[in-house]
Amino acid sequence: MPIEIRKTLLQVETTLIEGGKAALLPLKLYSAIAVVKNPWAGRGYVEDLKPEIHACAPVLGELLTKMIIDAVGSGEAVQAYGKAAVVGLDGEIEHASALIHTLRFGNHYRQAVGAKSYLAFCNTRGPANAPIMIPLMDKNDEGRRSHYLTIQTAVPDAPAADEIAIALGASVGGRPHHRIGDRYQDLKDLGHDVANPADV
């Protein structure tokens, strides 16, 4: 069953001033969104989601990755990345999760940006104009707090009850004037091993 894409959106946000102080390097945040028909809508409880995952997730991963890379200019320039999905009110959270929590979706993006970190994520359910929250973190260093960011956006007419909004996010740069340090200093101060941060 091919994925039915109703619309795509691309957003670029540039922060020039933060806290009343000009940013030395402006922060650029990118989001690419596809609004798609929920492939499980109207079918009741579906036990096996795999056929639709295999048919739809690679198409979405390739499309949204291309949108991000074309906007940023290169995969190398992407510093932090993340993903999100919002399923309409007639769908399950599992439907949102199914299309983004698969290597068939995420690996397109990971490979394009040369990432080592896992893709930060958010999967929620909501009506049209629901917040789409895309958490970001450094693509190669999960402890680099300067790149703990969240893109917040919305699509006024999506998701409809039988749709899913699927998104990828990227940053070029970290938070302007970041000054809370990285998690490695916390671990050192607490006497914890970096390889065992929970000390268990």
Q: Which amino acid is at 15?
A: T
Q: SS3 for 110?
A: helix
Task: For residue 181, name the pLDDT band (cuts at 50, 70, 90).
Answer: confident
- Look at residues 138, 133, 104 and name the one whose alpha carbon lies nearest to residue 119: 138
**Global confidence as pTM:** 0.93
Q: What is the mean pLDDT of the chain?
A: 95
- Alpha carbons 171 and 16: distance in angstroms, whole number: 14
Q: Which two tokens stand for residue 3?
A: 């994925």
pLDDT at 198: 67
Task: For residue 193, name the pLDDT band (cuts at 50, 70, 90).
Answer: confident
**pLDDT higher than 80, residue 195:** no
pLDDT at 80: 98
pLDDT at 1: 66
pLDDT at 191: 84
pLDDT tens per residue, range 88-137: 999 999 999 999 999 999 999 999 999 999 999 999 999 999 999 999 99
Q: Which two tokens stand for residue 40?
A: 């499980």
Domains along the sequence of the chain with CATH: 5-190 (3.30.1330.110)
**pLDDT higher than 80, residue 26:** yes
**pLDDT higher than 80, residue 197:** no
pLDDT more than 70, % of the chain = 98
Task: For residue 190, name the pLDDT band (cuts at 50, 70, 90).
Answer: confident
- Alpha carbons 58 and 44: distance in angstroms, whole number: 24
pLDDT tens per residue, range 53-62: 999 999 999 9
